[in-house]
Chain A
Amino acid sequence: MDSPNSSLEQNVDLSKLSDKDKQELQQFVVNESQKARIQQTVHSLTETCFKKCVTGGIRSGKLDKGEESCTQNCVDRFLDANFTVIRHLEKMRGSV
């Protein structure tokens, strides 16, 4: 996994990049990473909420009304729960 031999560097000479380009690239990568992290969370939430909300037989390729609103609620409640946990942990930390 030592990167000097990765395919990218064989093809692209990174040393030719200007400082401005480098900075721009860094920012680009930071943004892409954040996007990837968000997608990651969406994947695991989809997982959880699909299991909870799509319980009936599968008769169409679309989410029906109930499933759609269940999924939306599922996301919101999951995050509520998440915030509750964080708030409580903060409170516990404060009281020690």
Chain B
Amino acid sequence: MDSMNNFGASADPKSAVMNQVRQEAAMNNARLLIEVPISPSSPPAHFLYSSLHANGADTGAQKKINDHCFERCVPKPGSSLSSGETTCFTQCMEKYMAAWNTVSRQYIGRIQQEQGKAAGGGGSGMF
């Protein structure tokens, strides 16, 4: 993680940019899982900025993993998080991520299917 700002040190500017973009995308994705997205602390280079930033704009009201699991696991908050509540949280998180993977698989499968239909069977195989 502490190599975050050392991309310039690597010789090839192209892969430096690619790495940075990949890292920001991964961070953003992880962030979307746990909380409402906030704008990135360091904006990507200008020619990347507009296209990368187009998404994540309309998610203001989404509840995230913590909200879901808090609602489920802590119906009546006590003076501390009990061990039962902690276990519930762990399992709830795992369940949510399992759901994420299932949704992702199903959604991407469906898009590919529809694309194949639209292209008259000549699906381009985007993923």
Q: How far is the CB of A66 from chain B (nearest CB, A)?
A: 12
Q: Point out the residue from A32, A44, A59, A60 that lies within 8 Å of B62, measured CB to CB.
A: A44
User: Does B5 sit at the interface, judged by CB under 8 A?
Assistant: yes
Q: Verify A36–B14 contact, CB threshold 8 A.
A: no
Mark out the residues of chain B between 55 and 76 whose CB falls within 8 Å of any chain A CB in the assembled complex. Answer: 55-56, 59, 62-64, 68-69, 72-73
Q: Classify the interface of chain A: helix, strand, loop or mixed.
A: helix
Q: Verify A36–B102 contact, CB threshold 8 A.
A: no
Q: Verify A9–B56 contact, CB threshold 8 A.
A: no
Q: Verify B13–A32 contact, CB threshold 8 A.
A: no
Q: What does the 1/0 interface line of B23-55 toward A look like (CB < 8 Å)?
A: 001001100110000000011111111011011
Q: What does the 1/0 interface line of A20-41 toward B look like (CB < 8 Å)?
A: 0100111011101111111111
Which chain A residue shows the least CB distance to B33? A43
Which residues from chain B contact A49 at a C-beta distance below 8 Å?
99, 103
Which size class do A's interface residues fall under?
35 or more
Q: Verify B63–A61 contact, CB threshold 8 A.
A: no
Which residues from chain B contact A26 at a C-beta distance below 8 Å?
47
Q: Verify B17–A14 contact, CB threshold 8 A.
A: yes
User: Does A47 sit at the interface, judged by CB under 8 A?
Assistant: yes
Bound-complex Cα distance A32 to B53 (A): 11
Q: Point out the residue from B44, B51, B100 that lies within 8 Å of A30, measured CB to CB.
A: B51
Chain B positions within 8 Å of A, measured between CB atoms, are 5-9, 13-14, 16-18, 20-22, 25, 28-29, 32-33, 42-49, 51-52, 54-56, 59, 62-64, 68-69, 72-73, 88, 90-96, 98-100, 102-104, 106-108, 110-111, 126
Known contacts A3-B46, A39-B104, A58-B91; can you find 8 more A-B pairs with CB under 8 A? A6-B44, A8-B44, A11-B9, A17-B14, A36-B56, A40-B32, A45-B107, A67-B99
